[in-house]
Amino acid sequence: MKKALKIVGFAILVIIILLVSAPFVFESQLKDLLRKTINNNVNAQVAFADVDLSMFRSFPQATLVIDDLSIVNNEPFKGDTLATSDEVILEMSVKELFKSADEPKKIDQLKFNNAYVNIHVDSLGRANYDIAKQDTTTVASDTASAGFSLDLKHYEINNSRVKYIDEKGKIALDVTNLNHDGTGDFSLDQSELDTHSEANVALDYDGVNYLNNHKVSLDAVLDMDLDKMRYTFLKNEAKINQLPLTFDGYVQVNEENNELDLSFKTPSSDFKNFLAVIPETYAKNIENVDTNGDFVVNGRLFGVVDDTYIPKMDVEITSSNASFKYPDLPKSVQDINLDMQIVNESGLAEGTYVNINNATFRIEQDRFNTKGKISNLTDNMLVNLDVNGTINLANLSQAYPLELEQDLNGILTADVQTSFDMNSIEKEQYQNVNSSGTASIKNFSYKSPEIPNEVKIANANMNFNQGNAQVPDLKLTTGRTDIQASGSLQNLMGFLFTDQQLKGNFKVQSNTFAVNDFMVAETKEVKTTEGGEEKTVSQPTGKEAVKIPSFLDMELAFNARKVYYDNLELDNAKGVLVIRDETASLKNISTNIFNGSIGLDGMVSTKNQTPTFEMKLDLNALDIASSFNGMEMLQGMAPIAKALQGKLQSTLNLKGNLNEDLTPQLTSLAGNALAQLLTADIDVSKSPLLANLDSKLNFINLNDIDLNNLKTQLTFENGKVNIAPFDFNIKDINIQIGGSHGFDNTMNYNLNLDVPAKYLGSQVGGTLSKLSGSDLQQMEVELPIGLTGTFQNPQINLNMQQAVNSLTQKIVAEQKEELKEKGKDALGNIISGAINKQTQNKSGDTTIVKQDSTGTQPKSTTKRDSINRSQQEQVQNAAKNILGGILKNSKKKTDTTKNNQ
């Protein structure tokens, strides 16, 4: 007995040693086998991080785990990822490990975890999954002797995604949260396969969304005939959201096409089946909904499926005298009748059509009815619809649990008939559209966190004629704004059924229009996780901006009695506004403001992240004080104007960037202006710059400036205002000014004053007379003054050296002129016979006068051609003393002209 136990124990030990050591023995071999199998069969870049063989993970099976598998396409889809999987698990009998290299190893189970399959068929019909190598004869023999064989008993696909894009067929399928498993025996020619599938499915066909993240499940048992490749549904139940369907029939897989004949129907006729078709997000708690009536889906798909043909179909959807009521809502939906067919008799996609024989419902006294036909779905879709009824929109959310950002309200009435083809809509050939009837909405209001005020539509009427809609009356209010409009929409059908912009022409009247009522709350896209799913949502940034809608292509002829823009109040604004491509073009705009008027033409664009503008403005007879107090832009252009009272006229050509509220960014301005002061009085006390000048220049009174009809040219560039030099007078003092300042109020200006000596006082005039020897009260003293710093804290600098030099030159020139006059007296003496007589001028110079060789022109030589150096220095020193007394802060203003009268 002990011996037997020892033998058993030894055997177990050997088995454990073999199980532990097997991965080290076979793992490398299996890696090589896997690479060889891939290289022999696949024309793609296949990679994996690692291969791990375990004998214990699913004992007594051996488990081969492939980590981070990826398949990347070669041409013509080079670089595209065909498939990835975090983990691929192959399970096989342990004995398969001991097979020779010439024998295929049979895989019993195959599992894919967290896989992603990206199938792409391009416009030429080429498929990225077509990666099998072409030489199938030799490859088949090689792989049969040296690869893996899929004799599956079970397979799984867990938490995976399959994305299918067919550009040629205009199909987009996205299957997420896919979990599928099947149990059968693929080693037999005939067997049963028991499957379970569940996923979320989104399906678009030719730009139309048919399934939007609908939850789909299927439990099915199929009879598999692998020899004939025929699969027959034996027992099954499917659910689309919560709508149950049962299937009967088969699918036959052929080499060049597939054949199918499938019948399906709802297993019961309960009207809850209709509610179950609605996305689960909205069809909440339908098990508690009280329903009456029936809802039946009964259909058949049959025929050949290949590159040309789709299944023929005949699907009927009916309901009669049905109703439903949610337990938590006050109202019910009644008199529901549906009679619809989806038919394809040709097997060609464009032959599919939908008949809406009747679709009606009623909420309280409001009844709505639709009938029509939609055909030629995949080519040039033909639409023929008749809509009739009245509905109180507020009742919708009281009868059905809609998840809306705001409450519906208002009375919608429609009696519209329309018939059109989509090609005509897309090409704007509205002569091919046959629409007629009327629609209206009354007492409608709209709220949104993106706008500051509720939008209320008292009434809006529309008359349909071909593709156009006449709007004879529209009354709207929001905040302080009221609008009354009439006009036409040129392409309402194109806007509703395609991605066209809404085009129209309107006449707009308004008593009050406030731009701030249309400030939109800015949002940003952020990612968030909700219910285990990652979503992208919009969140407010806390900022507001005026945005020109991208979907509008409108021409508005408007007339507004009052317009409020920022802090401005405009009267009688009128003109033409063209909204197109997120740009507002303003034409022949005129308005009254600041006791004058403004005319403007230009454009404003919010297409880019930073709004821009380009504008020509004509300012006519504006009140200076009011306009400069009310407009930040004018304050920046001429800060000194705050000290002026009067009327302004100007022409401005400007462009630059705008803030979110469409006010100009001053530092971005570029352009020019021609400004004219029609009438102007100055109040020095209102400007620190003028007050400082007035106190320092004690020979001048700035309140005496005459600025009437003063003109100047301005240019704007790089955040600065450049003013071309211009002249004006205070009494008979000429002043020239030029330079620049920034919108930050820093300045760099030059003033040149030509001051008659009489304004400098009798003492200064006497000094000048002594220097020149004559009365120089009419001499002008040039005073260059530099203005720097800011307008609030100015720095006033007299260029003393330049002023001294200028005054010295004038005095010296005057003395030279005096010498010339004395020379003329000497010449008179010569003529009278006093030839060669020495004369001595007042300054002590001795001049010898001689007759030249012609006997007609006298020559004179001086001992000195100018005053001596010491005298010139005396003149300069005196000039400094004179000018040094001009700029004083403490001296009281006096009328210096009285001393010279």
Could you read off the pLDDT of 335-387 as tens digits, one per residue?
A: 999 999 999 999 888 888 999 999 999 998 889 999 999 988 777 888 899 99
pLDDT band at 536 (very low <50, low <70, confident <90, very high): low
Structure-block tokens of residue 37 = 């199998």
What's the mean pLDDT when you consider all of the chain?
77
Per-residue pLDDT at 251 exceeds 70: yes
Count Cα atoms within 13 angstroms, Cβ side, for 501. 14
Q: Which of 635, 646, 711, 644 is nearest to 682 (CA)?
A: 644
Amino acid at site 689: L
Tally of CB atoms within 10 A around 399: 19
DSSP track, 369-437: EEEEEEE-TTSS-EEEEEEEEEEETHHHHHHS----SS---SEEEEEEEEEEEHHHHHTT-GGG-EEEE
Structure-block tokens of residue 588 = 């022949």
DSSP track, 281-349: TTSTTGGG-EEESB-EEEEEEEEEESSS---EEEEEEEEEEEEEE-TTSS--EEEEEEEEEEEESSSSG
- pLDDT at residue 428, rounded to an integer: 77
Structure-block tokens of residue 528 = 């968030």
Q: What pTM was computed for the model? A: 0.58
- pLDDT at residue 796, rounded to an integer: 84
Per-residue pLDDT at 823 exceeds 70: no
pLDDT band at 397 (very low <50, low <70, confident <90, very high): confident
Q: CA-based angle 71:76:80, to the nearest 5? A: 35
Q: What is the CA radius of gyration of the chain?
A: 48
- Higher-scoring residue by pLDDT: 870, 801: 801
Helix, strand, or coil here: 56? strand
Per-residue pLDDT at 220 exceeds 80: yes
- pLDDT at residue 889, rounded to an integer: 39
Q: How far is CA 51 from CA 47, 60, 96, 156, 195, in A?
A: 11, 19, 17, 19, 29
Q: For 215-230, give one letter per residue: b (16+ CB within 10 A) or e.
A: bbbbebebebebeeeb
Any idea where the domains of the chain sit in the sequence? 22-168, 241-404, 430-520+546-593, 606-724, 762-900
User: DSSP letter at 42?
Assistant: B
- Block residue for tokens 């202006």: 673
Distance of CA 494 to the CA centre of its chain: 23
Q: How far is CA 862 from CA 25, 837, 866, in A?
A: 126, 14, 9
Q: How far, in Å, CA of 387 to CA of 393, rounded?
A: 16
Could you read off the pLDDT of 269-305 as tens digits, one per residue?
A: 788 778 777 655 555 566 778 889 888 899 999 999 8
Could you read off the pLDDT of 161-186 as tens digits, one per residue?
A: 999 898 877 788 899 999 999 888 87
User: DSSP letter at 719?
Assistant: T
- pLDDT at residue 835, rounded to an integer: 36
- pLDDT at residue 877, rounded to an integer: 66
- pLDDT at residue 177, rounded to an integer: 92
By CB neighbour count within 10 A (0-12 exposed, 13-18 middle, 19+ buried), where does 413 fall?
A: middle
Partnered with residue 30 across adjacent β-strands are none
- pLDDT at residue 343, rounded to an integer: 94
The CA dihedral of 740, 745, 746, 748, to the nearest 10 degrees, is: 30
Partnered with residue 465 across adjacent β-strands are 436, 468
Q: What percentage of the chain has pLDDT greater than the value 90?
A: 14
- pLDDT at residue 82, rounded to an integer: 87
What's the rounded mean pLDDT across residues 473-495? 86
